[in-house]
Amino acid sequence: MADSNSKYDQSAPGVIERLLQRDRAIVFCALGGVTLLAAIYTMFGVGMNMSAFEMTRMSGPLGRAMDMGAPPGWNFPYAALIFLMWWLMMIAMMTPSTAPTLLLFAALKRQGPESARVPSLVAVFLMGYLLCWAGFSVAATALQWALQGAKLFEPGMMIVRSRALSGVILLATGAYQFSWLKRACLNSCKSPTQFLTTHRGTGYSGALSVGFWHGLYCLGCCWGLMALLFVGGIMNLYWILGLALLVTAEKLFPRKAFVSHLIGAVLLVAGFLVLTT
């Protein structure tokens, strides 16, 4: 008598292909849903005095923020709100660029002993990735608090007040684009196969660890560009969309250094102009 479970034999090529197609659908739906929810929260500025649309419309020249009056006092609820704003904005900006690595992770797990747990492993991988950006958001919140305390930050418009500091941030980010650390992190982000060959893990703890390491490489690659939000306006939709497109271009453009170096050159020129004009 034939095995009643033979029709579920995952060694059959057709079954594997259907499962991989289902995994791709799961990954894209998960990434799309997470990105969409984070983007909606960011655009409407939930909990903020103004929405991102209003802040974008009222934005002015770099380092010359409009004075919006007395700033709100920092306390735990306000700091938590600022952290949530940063984290969800990072999720909206960075999640789409992780799709190639997440798809390859799902494909590798599908053809191994953990094939039955692929959807949940993908979710845990994504959780690890987003936890890394939560750490960045904590640091960004602390920096925003410090800048506001030093009266270098306009909390209403969420932008650096000082033209000199804006120029320094542009120059520092431009210089980082040419650094060995930027190059090493970008190479890992652009080569999912190499990354997943080097970083392996089993079970949920392994998926969490691999996702977190992938997030660290992306953070090392993109933290400088994210710092530009202090210059252009943390809730400025033009800068948010522009930086998200630059991050995606860096990771997907076939010539590894061209886009990164081009961005660096533009930022160095922009920083020089901001400081001297």
What does each of the 277 residues of the chain score in pLDDT, given as a tens digit?
A: 444 444 444 555 565 567 667 777 777 777 787 788 777 877 776 556 666 767 676 665 555 555 555 556 788 888 998 999 899 999 988 888 888 888 889 888 888 788 788 889 999 999 999 999 999 999 999 999 999 989 898 887 788 988 999 999 999 999 999 999 999 999 888 888 889 888 888 889 999 999 999 999 999 999 999 999 999 988 888 888 889 888 888 887 877 688 899 999 999 999 999 999 8
Local structure of 159: helix, strand or coil:
strand
Residues 157, 233: contact at Cβ < 8 Å? Answer: yes
* CA distances (Å), origin 142, targets 37, 99, 145, 147, 210: 25, 30, 5, 9, 27
The total domain count for the chain is 1
In a domain, 148, yes or no: yes
In a domain, 137, yes or no: yes
- What backbone phi and psi angles, to 5 degrees, belong to 176? -65, -30
Local structure of 154: helix, strand or coil:
strand
In a domain, 253, yes or no: yes
Identify the domain containing residue 94 by its residue range. 10-276
In a domain, 236, yes or no: yes
Nearest C-alpha neighbor of 67 from the set 153, 146, 167, 165: 153
In a domain, 195, yes or no: yes
Global pTM value: 0.82
- What backbone phi and psi angles, to 5 degrees, belong to 253? -65, 130
In a domain, 1, yes or no: no
132 phi-psi bin (left φ>0, alpha ψ -120 to 50, beta other): alpha
In a domain, 4, yes or no: no
Residue 272: which H helix or E strand, with range?
helix 258-276
In a domain, 173, yes or no: yes
